[in-house]
A and B are shown apart, each in its own frame.
Chain A
Amino acid sequence: MTEKPVLEVKGLTLDFATRRGTLRALDGVSFTIGRGEVLGVVGESGAGKSLTGTAIIGLVERPGRITGGEIRLNGQRIDNLPPKEMRAIRGRKIGMIFQDPLTSLNPVFRIGDQLTETLQAHLPLSKAEARQRAIELLIEVGIPAPEKRIDGYPHEFSGGMRQRVVIALALAAGPDLIVADEPTTALDVSVQAQIITLLKRLCRTRGTSVMLITHDMGVIAETADRVAVMYAGRIAEIGPVADVIRHPRHPYARGLMGAIPALDTRVKRLTQISGSMPRLDSIPKGCAFQPRCTMAIPRCSLERPELVQAGASRAACWLANAETEVPA
């Protein structure tokens, strides 16, 4: 990738100041997203995947605070911008899609008004032009009879159609990057398939980059180019999606792949990772995964592994290159 990445996150650290001391929710998270690339971010609840997305769009709420690292969009640093300038970037340069389409649309405004408001806030358009543009967007996301539906309220739309409207809103100003946080989790599988296909097609035709945050490895497999597996506020492994799924290098990533029941084969027992993710106030020393890891060595509890190249991926494990490959 010789081209400059759209998004560059370097050593992102995020702390929560609480009465009982500072909790480190993100610890040195670094990754890049290239133009037109879909980066999947997976992890279990509490891994910090949504927080990473929130930090990028500049919506971290108190008592959370970015205490280290930097975020660059097209080379411009955006993590230290004053709120007013950040607001101009949010929506214009970075679009957002959230999990629940019912809460991300305002129930008392017609969807046409919400679309034109977004368009006019970011682009120099007249009211009539904005409305025309809104109709085009609705056609693009596959809403039937958009000239009529544009005057409807969110409650008149089904869940899948609402998520299409949210996608139209995210794409309205032609952003370079879309942060999609669990965009299909609230939807049924058949509708989920439609939304994934739509998102993929739109990003391909427009060349928009996507950060796709989800806990569903299947969605990632179908949509993403690269994937980052997060654990306890850090990236455990990052690499091309086929490599991470077929030859995971990090024991956590390997456990995660084995824990997912497959459709085509029925195993007697699923691989299980004993225990659960540590709480933020008791993240173990050394490698955070070490207490649950079956192959931990003494070094794991003393020193924290950084991401190292392992095959086509990079993994934060002392044994990343020592392993014999486990057949997929």
Chain B
Amino acid sequence: MSEPILEVTDLRRLFDVSKPWLERVVAREPRQLLTAVDEVSFTINKGETFALVGESGSGKSTVAKMVVGLLGPSGGRVRFAGVPEGQRPRPGMVQMIFQDPYASLNPRWRVADIIAEPMIVTGTRKDAASRAARVAELLTLVGLSPKDGDKYPHQFSGGQRQRIAIARALSSEPEFIVCDEPTSALDVSVQAQILNLMRELQERLGLTYLFISHNLAVVRHMAHRIGVMYLGRLVEVQESDALFLAPKHPYTRLLIDAVPNLAEIGRDRVPVQGEVPSPINPPSGCTFHPRCPIAMPVCSRERPAFRDGAACHALAPQTVAAE
């Protein structure tokens, strides 16, 4: 777990959310751009799980899409180890597991064909017999029976479908898998099965995961390192244990505190007020300052630099002293 497999530098993505051209010209309105992701940098080491957490609209899925190449970045770079500047990694080296196993499997295809498809597309196995053998192997690997290959997706439950989606992701022999909310659509007992399976596969196959989730407990269970996102920016990146024991950024603290916990029965709390602001018109300075319990005057003026794993003015002694 030493050398980096992925390096993301200053990633940025804008979306055009302007009204249609004619309406805009008639009303004399300018173009309107939404910054979904800005100044996001992180590295992921081989064999580890790096998680991105955040509430809706924090840009975590947009980062995931840029990493796999489904979206082009508006700025910054995504570089995989050993891949020359400006090129994509070999086909099939990066794969993705999606949230909804009901939407991500083609209902008209047999499971065996679904799983074999990446091998055909990436050309890893050219003859049908070796593909069939590999499909059977993969089905067993994810805890299904090789006979299940003849069935259609509707014959499986949500958890089994997610197993099929994992088998498909593994069929092109990837090194890096982006998992976008892989268990959010599943019930807890089934979620436990899938999380356990994903960790087993990581150990056996030496996979690296970029794990996207809004569920902190799931992230805690899966990730070695965690990045917390708020309104398109990384506010904190830390080792998983350190993040939960000693969160640095006030937003991380808020997030951890907001999760209802089985250990605290009947807890009364004072929740932080306010909601995530609209990314179309984000607050000035540190975007978290309107909700921050320890905000200082400087927070609404200047954007804090990312230093020692977190982006917060309160963590810079000089700034605190000057206030």
Contacts and interface: CB of A to CB of B under 8 A. Distances in A.
Interface in A196-244: 196-197, 200, 215-219, 221-222, 241-242
Interface string B46-65: 00000000011000000000
A256 B189 contact: yes
A269 B55 contact: no
Contacts of B271: 190, 193-194, 196-197
Contact of A218 (B158, B199, B221, B261): B261
Nearest to B270: A197
B259 to A, nearest CB: 6
Contact of A259 (B189, B270, B272): B189
A245 B271 CA distance: 24
B192 A45 contact: no
Contacts of B199: 269
Interface stretch (A9-17, A64-72, A85-93, A272-280): A272-280
A266 B189 contact: no
Contacts of B220: 261-263, 266
Contact of B214 (A189, A215, A245): A189
Contacts of A189: 55, 214, 216, 255, 258-259
B104 interface: no
Interface bin, chain B: 35 or more
B192 A272 contact: yes
B153 to A, nearest CB: 15
Contacts of A196: 260, 271
Chain A at the B interface: mostly helix, strand, loop or mixed?
helix
A260 B186 CA distance: 12
Interface residues of A, number: 46
A288 B256 CA distance: 37
A264 B266 CA distance: 17
A36 interface: no
Interface in A45-62: 45
A223 to B, nearest CB: 8
B191 interface: yes
B275 A270 contact: no
A242 B275 contact: no
Contacts of B189: 44, 255-256, 259, 272-273, 276
B217 A261 contact: yes
Contacts of A158: 275
A270 B261 contact: no
B56 A44 contact: no
A222 B216 contact: no
B179 to A, nearest CB: 15
B159 interface: yes
9 nearest A-B pairs in the assembled complex, by CB-CB distance: A218-B260, A44-B187, A259-B192, A261-B221, A193-B271, A188-B55, A270-B192, A193-B258, A261-B217
Interface of A: 44-45, 158-161, 188-194, 196-197, 200, 215-219, 221-222, 241-242, 245, 255-264, 266-267, 269-274, 276-277
